[in-house]
Amino acid sequence: MIEALERIVGKENVITDREKIENYLVDETPSIIRPKPAVKLVLVKPANTKEVSEILKFANENKIPVYPRGGGTGLAGGAIPTRDGIILSLERMDKIEIDKDNLMAIAEAGVTLEKLIKAAEEADLFFPLHPGDESAHVGGLVATNAGGARAVKYGVMRNYVRGLEVVLPTGEILNLGGKLQKNNVGYDLMNLIIGSEGTLAVITKVILRLYPKFPATATLVIPFNNRHEALSSVPKILQSGIMPLAIEYVEKELMEKTAKILGETWPVKEGQCYLLIIVAEQSRDQMLNESLRIAEICKANGALEPLFAEPRDQQEKILRIRSNIYLALKPYTADILDTTVPPASIGKFIDAVDEIAKKYNTYLPAYGHAGDGNLHIHIMQEEGKGIDYIEKIRSEIYEAAVKLGGVITGEHGIGKVRLSSLKRYTDEKYLELMRKIKKIFDPNNILNPETKIS
Ligand SMILES: Cc1cc2nc3c(=O)[nH]c(=O)nc-3n(C[C@H](O)[C@H](O)[C@H](O)COP(=O)(O)OP(=O)(O)OC[C@H]3O[C@@H](n4cnc5c(N)ncnc54)[C@H](O)[C@@H]3O)c2cc1C
């Protein structure tokens, strides 16, 4: 196998030394629930789509599992190679060009989120979405249909993708969509690939919608004394007709802890928790007017005096602290959930989570994308408590979300760690159709087996 792969990508891009591939055996999933990697693994780094195609053709003919890998920032174990086989890293495929006329970026799969944001910025355009970790790759972001902060106004990754180049497990190359705003040709295979977590095809190139920059933006930090008042303000803001770029929920203790780790200071003293709201508009008057209305709505719902950040560095500092909460909690975290409920039910959902915390006499930190009804609840490690304990709390949180019309994952995906939960909360017919689709694309089950569906 090694010689065949070396012939395709060159000797220096085929790596078997375990020490050199260690970073490719894990992702950001908390270690307690993270799947164990297989033993006999080879890391392959193709330079272009043709090489990806040849690797897949070879693997398919020889029935060798292939694990597509982006930045390894996933939180559901999706990129972890659990059977002996090939780790396919797209990191060398990192070219990007901007089509200013069509407001689009054409990015190879290995372009990082950081590079995409910068390239758009340099062309005086804007990629609004911000799914947390900027070392994630465009291919990974599409494969997981990432969400994150700043999805309230323009939606999640799916809403940005206009075209894909993918390689099927057989090695065939397929182009889907294009630089188009409308496209009704055939079944929508492009949207089937988006969010398929590396189980149907390897994404090699992506066409993404960009937006003109907003001339006027501000970040409001609105303090509250309790979770319920903060989260029940969110539907009221959305019902008023205001559509901010982001509505995030965070807690004081987490922000202070994270700021300290980053060597910064969290600037707000009042309150126990906050809504962070990014308002982005075409004029300063419009932005100020909306900010005032948001503050009024929140004050009528129990909010204290908001902090209004307009200078860019102040806004970036707030987002930086928010984006790094996971880093602060990770060493003590047993599991990080991304349950999502209808936005108007988020107040009821957090009340249910508080009840569960009381029942188990534990702390369940919560933060996240309140405007999308999508919260990250952390189940913390506790001395002497094993996997059963984690599963019990997780199930109760899932039950609470599903009862409110929600789902067990809104952005991190099923990966390898949520397969049993998927089966529990998904209709049997749905699962059967998923299995059939997987079989059509990947009859030999070589692409990321035991992920998304099994
Ligand atoms: C601090 C932190 C904050 C985060 N915040 C958010 C957030 O706000 N919102 C959110 O949605 N996620 C968030 N995440 C999770 C993670 O960043 C996203 O899931 C991201 O999309 C993963 O991209 P990646 O390139 O790292 O993919 P990887 O982790 O490498 O892979 C993820 C999945 O995609 C598949 N894959 C990767 N590349 C390809 C490809 N080219 N073709 C086919 N399949 C591929 C893999 O096989 C795997 O199943 C966060 C993670 C961290 C660590």
CB contact at 8 A, 261 and 324: yes
Report the nearest atom of ligand 1 relative to the CA of 448: 47
Query: pLDDT-based confidence at 435, cuts 50/70/90?
Result: very high
Q: Which of 144, 164, 422, 453 is the pocket-test mutation for ligand 1 (most atoms within 8 Å of CB)? A: 144
Tokens of residue 39, six digits: 């033993």
What is the bridge-based pairing of β-strands 85-89 and 66-69? Answer: parallel
**Residue 375, both tokens:** 């919260």
User: What gap in Å lies between CA 289 and CA 348, rounded to an integer?
Assistant: 30
Residue 364 is predicted with a pLDDT of 95
- State which ligand 1 atom lies nearest to the alpha carbon of 156: 11
Average pLDDT across the chain, whole number: 96
**Phi, psi for 220 (deg, rounded to 5):** -100, 135
Distance CA 195, CA 145 (A): 4
Cα gap 78→412, rounded to integer Å: 9
- Model pLDDT, residue 64: 98
What is the predicted pLDDT for the residue at 265? 95
Per-residue pLDDT reduced to its tens digit, 311-360: 999 999 999 999 999 989 999 999 999 999 999 999 999 999 999 999 99
Q: Is 142 left (phi over 0), alpha (psi -120 to 50) or beta?
A: alpha
- Which atom of ligand 1 has the smallest separation from the CA of 142? 21
Q: Would you place residue 3 in the very low, low, confident or very high pLDDT band (cuts 50, 70, 90)?
A: very high
Q: How far is CA 447 from the centre of its chain?
A: 21
Beta strands in 210-245 (DSSP E): 211-212, 216-224
Closest CA to 353 of 327, 385, 378: 378
- Whole-number Å distance between alpha carbons of 451 and 392: 23
Determine which helix (DSSP H) or strand (DSSP E) holds 287, and give its type and residue range: helix 284-299
Total count of residues recorded for the chain: 454
Q: What is the pLDDT of residues 372-406, one digit of tens each?
A: 999 999 999 998 888 899 999 999 999 999 999 99
Q: Which atom of ligand 1 is nearest to the CA of 68?
A: 47
Main-chain phi, psi angles of 193, to 5 degrees:
-70, -40
> Sorting pLDDT into bands at 50, 70 and 90, what band is 213?
very high
Mean pLDDT of 99-108: 98
CB of 73 sitting under 6 A from ligand 1: yes
Q: For 388, list phi and psi in degrees, rounded to 5.
A: -60, -40
Residue 132 predicted with pLDDT over 90: no
Say yes or no: CB of residue 378 within 6 Å of ligand 1: no
In contact, 166 and 52? CB cutoff 8 Å: no
Q: Which helix (H) or strand (E) holds 232?
A: helix 227-239
Count of C-beta atoms within a 10 Å radius of residue 134: 16
Least Cα distance to 244 among 172, 176, 154 occurs for 154
Query: What share of residues in the chain are helix, strand, coil (percent, to 5)?
Result: 40, 20, 40
Say yes or no: CB of residue 409 within 6 Å of ligand 1: no
Q: Could you report the per-residue pLDDT of 279-312, keeping only the tens digit for each?
A: 999 999 999 999 999 999 999 999 999 999 999 9
Average pLDDT over residues 236-251: 95
The rounded distance, in Å, linking the Cα atoms of 167 and 53 is 6
- Nearest-CA residue for atom 27 of ligand 1: 140
Q: Is the CB of 375 under 6 A from ligand 1?
A: no
Whole-number percent of the chain with pLDDT over 90: 96
Return the bridge partners of 165, or none.
175, 205
In the structure encoding, which two tokens stand for residue 282, read together?
């075409």
The DSSP line for 41-70 is: EEEE--SSHHHHHHHHHHHHHTT--EEEES
CB-neighbour burial class of residue 50 (10 A; exposed 0-12, middle 13-18, buried 19+): middle
User: For residue 212, is pLDDT > 90?
Assistant: yes
User: Which of 22, 35, 211 is closest to 116 using CA atoms?
Assistant: 211
| Interval between CA 138 and ligand 1 midpoint (Å) | 9
Is 67 within 8 Å of 59 (Cβ atoms)? no
Percent of the chain whose pLDDT exceeds 70? 100
